[in-house]
Structure 1
Amino acid sequence: MPTTRDEIAKKAGVSTATVSRVYNDPDSVSADKRERVYAAAKRFGYVPNKNASALRRNATGTIMLLERRIENPSPDERYYNWLYADVIKAVKSVIDSSMYQLNLHSFASGEDIRAIKERGLCDGIICHSLADAEVARVCDTGIPYVACYRTVAPEFNAVFVDEYAGGAAAAKAFIGSGHRKPAHITGELEHVPVCRDRWNGFRSQWEREPVMINGLLGIKGGYESGRGLAPAIRRGDIDCVFIVNDLTAIGVVQALAEAKIDIPGDVSLIGYDNLPFTATLPCRLASIDLSLKRVYTTAASRLLGNIKDGGTIREIVAPEYAPGDSVRRR
């Protein structure tokens, strides 16, 4: 027979009402009691009936993780699928300890977003990497929400990565290891705010303006940009390169290898995103870690509080430098 709430209360040394509050209103219970209840629940396989709890509250009992549906992703976009898996794990770690259950949902149009409200699908929405116009449609539903990862307009609830600080962190890592001749490889600066923020953060730390190549993003784009930068590296005009993302950095590494330029002997590299598969490169790539786990656990926790108490959500998470073998002290 399934373990009951009364049995968990006895094992944890708390009242039955306290067990209910742990799952329905965890902030009202002390951390010590919460941990005892969670430990007992895990040990004896107790799972609260979230549907019954939702019915008592006249709610759906569901938090939605919402993303845009991409029918035909490009080869480069497929490399980022690991990000979504990490996002789900982070959100689930918070939602599983609440009165809610998590539902994954994708949309193809604004009508799909409006239908979320009309069909009563959820009590709160976590927006995964949506554009401002899409977040505005979510906001218009009146359902509590939080937008994540992208830097979004100040009128929206959001927990996002400080991309400017990420670019600055790359520059500080180079400067701290004695580099003085910087370059930056990026793309689509005119259209992608994230790229602009990373570039502006990077350039802000140097006494002299870094060389900048604004080409195409992705492996092919990085390859072409790397070929274009190779002569300046050979001349000794550039001793370090910050690349706007790790996928583009892979192409840069390929181009420099073909040009017989040693990493980090001739030039140091730092990417951005800290993708796990870059560990397979001949030289482990230093990168800027997005701290996505912190972004999404923070967002989920803040959303639960917003559903209960209202208010606004606006929080910035600073990314962190992840050292690698592609940076050498000069």
Structure 2
Amino acid sequence: MATMKDVAARAGVSTATVSRAISGHPSVQADTAQRVLAAAEELGYVPNPLASSLRKQRTQVWALIIADINNPFLTQVARGLEDVASAAGYSVLLCNTDEDPRREDAYIGIAEQYRAAGVVITPTSPGTDVAVLQERGIPVVAVDRPLTAGLDVDAVLIDSRRAARAAVAGLVAVGRRRIGCITGPRRVYTAEERVLGYREALREAHLPPEESLVQYGDYKEEGGRAAMATILENDGVDAVLVANSLMAVGALDLLRTRGLDPGSDVEIIAFDDAPWTALLAPAVRVIHQPAYDVGQAAGQLLLRRIAEPGRQSRTVMLAANLGPETRR
């Protein structure tokens, strides 16, 4: 494979001149630039973008560090971010932590080592350490979950608490009284926010909170199945709020194995309207979260931070909305 030195020798110039000519630097005379480009084409020389980026102290890559690539919400976030990145000339490196703080820390180190132009992250906890990125001047945007207050980090969040409160209030309005809640891991901001909204709605309806009706899962199908089994140990459960669509699949499967009819025996409301949620029969209501918009907003914040490194950090809060009941 031809090197820059080979091109320089063929064109009769220095390697510095080759570098400037290939990058279109105006200091290179037109005839010299033409000679260099002709030599590069003859030799089949391909510039090394990583080496060029290291000299510039930045790559044209954004690192997206997400909690679970199998989560449909996060895949839509990734799509929204990638569309913004691509339009601005950046590529996106996808990193899946699987909710493991050690893997998260490793990916943060990789982003720093390879001089990412920016990092978008769904942190495993508010205390996720992004100091090494900030010390390098690499902008960070937290999505779905905030980082510790006081950090100079942009964020794009969804008002999960309000959406959960509205969903449970709706269940109360149609006569449901023993309402359970399946949420995510305790350390995760969205999981706790949805429980808070659930409890607020019960309190407003003068319904006593029952800790046995609240189960913490893992945002995965099996976690939803196990949590539903525990909730059904209580008598008379007639509705359950589920914190994401994957756990809703597990919860619905458990109901079917128990011979219970979702929608009549036990009504289900779940966060996230993945494309297949409309097929979950016979009745599931979904809370729409604008995942694609979250990714787009994160990308726009990142671009602004790259252009204006010293500007004040900003948090964008988007709304989630309870959709209509879906029936097959």
Fold shared, TM-score > 0.5 on shorter chain: yes
1:122 aligns with 2:116: yes
Name the counterpart of 1:147: 142
Give me the whole-angstrom Cα distance separating, in 2, the residues matched to 1:88 and 1:189: 22
Displacement, 1:105? Answer: 4.8
Name the counterpart of 2:307: 308
Give me the whole-angstrom Cα distance separating, in 2, the residues matched to 1:292 and 1:230: 31
Displacement, 1:161? Answer: 2.3
1:85 aligns with 2:75: yes
Give me the whole-angstrom Cα distance separating, in 1, the residues matched to 2:318 and 2:271: 15
Displacement, 1:148? Answer: 1.2
Structure 2: gaps of 5 or more residues:
1-48, 98-102
The change in CA–CA distance for 1:272 and 1:135 in structure 2 (over 3 A counts) is farther
Displacement, 1:114? Answer: 4.2
The change in CA–CA distance for 1:210 and 1:254 in structure 2 (over 3 A counts) is farther
In the TM superposition, what whole-angstrom CA distance separates every residue of 1:70-126 from its partner, at most 9, and x where no partner exists? Answer: 9xxxxxx5642x44432232112222333x31231538464653454454x333222
**Secondary structure of the structure 2 residue equivalent to 1:274:** coil
Give me the whole-angstrom Cα distance separating, in 2, the residues matched to 1:315 and 1:247: 26
**Secondary structure of the structure 1 residue equivalent to 2:214:** strand
Give me the whole-angstrom Cα distance separating, in 2, the residues matched to 1:135 and 1:149: 16
Matched ranges for 1:145-294 at <5 A: 145-156=140-151, 157=153, 158-176=155-173, 178-186=174-182, 190-206=186-202, 207=205, 208-211=207-210, 212-214=213-215, 216-217=217-218, 218-230=220-232, 237-294=236-293
Letter in 1 for 2:93: L
Give TM-score, length-normalised by structure 1.
Answer: 0.66
Give me the whole-angstrom Cα distance separating, in 1, the residues matched to 2:107 and 2:258: 49
Displacement, 1:60? Answer: 4.1
Larger Rg: 2
The change in CA–CA distance for 1:134 and 1:249 in structure 2 (over 3 A counts) is same
The change in CA–CA distance for 1:182 and 1:289 in structure 2 (over 3 A counts) is farther
Count of residues in correspondence between the two structures? 259
Among 86, 93, 107, which residue is 1:96 paired with? 86
The change in CA–CA distance for 1:225 and 1:105 in structure 2 (over 3 A counts) is closer
Letter in 1 for 2:317: I
Any conservation in 2 of the 1:189–1:214 contact (CA below 8 Å)? no
Identical residues among aligned pairs (%): 20
Displacement, 1:290? Answer: 2.6
**Secondary structure of the structure 2 residue equivalent to 1:133:** coil
Any conservation in 2 of the 1:223–1:248 contact (CA below 8 Å)? yes
The change in CA–CA distance for 1:247 and 1:197 in structure 2 (over 3 A counts) is same
Letter in 2 for 1:179: G
Range moving further from structure 2, 161-170 or 210-219 = 210-219
In the TM superposition, what whole-angstrom CA distance separates every residue of 1:246-299 from its partner, at most 9, and x where no partner exists? Answer: 222222222222333222222311012223333333325212223111111111
Displacement, 1:303? Answer: 1.6
Give me the whole-angstrom Cα distance separating, in 1, the residues matched to 2:78 and 2:69: 17
Displacement, 1:155? Answer: 2.4
Displacement, 1:61? Answer: 6.2
Any conservation in 1 of the 2:245–2:272 contact (CA below 8 Å)? yes
Give me the whole-angstrom Cα distance separating, in 2, the residues matched to 1:209 and 1:136: 43
Letter in 2 for 1:161: I
Range moving further from structure 2, 224-233 or 317-326 = 224-233
Any conservation in 2 of the 1:67–1:130 contact (CA below 8 Å)? no
Name the counterpart of 2:133: 138
Letter in 1 for 2:133: V
Displacement, 1:229? Answer: 4.1
The change in CA–CA distance for 1:305 and 1:201 in structure 2 (over 3 A counts) is same
Displacement, 1:194? Answer: 2.4
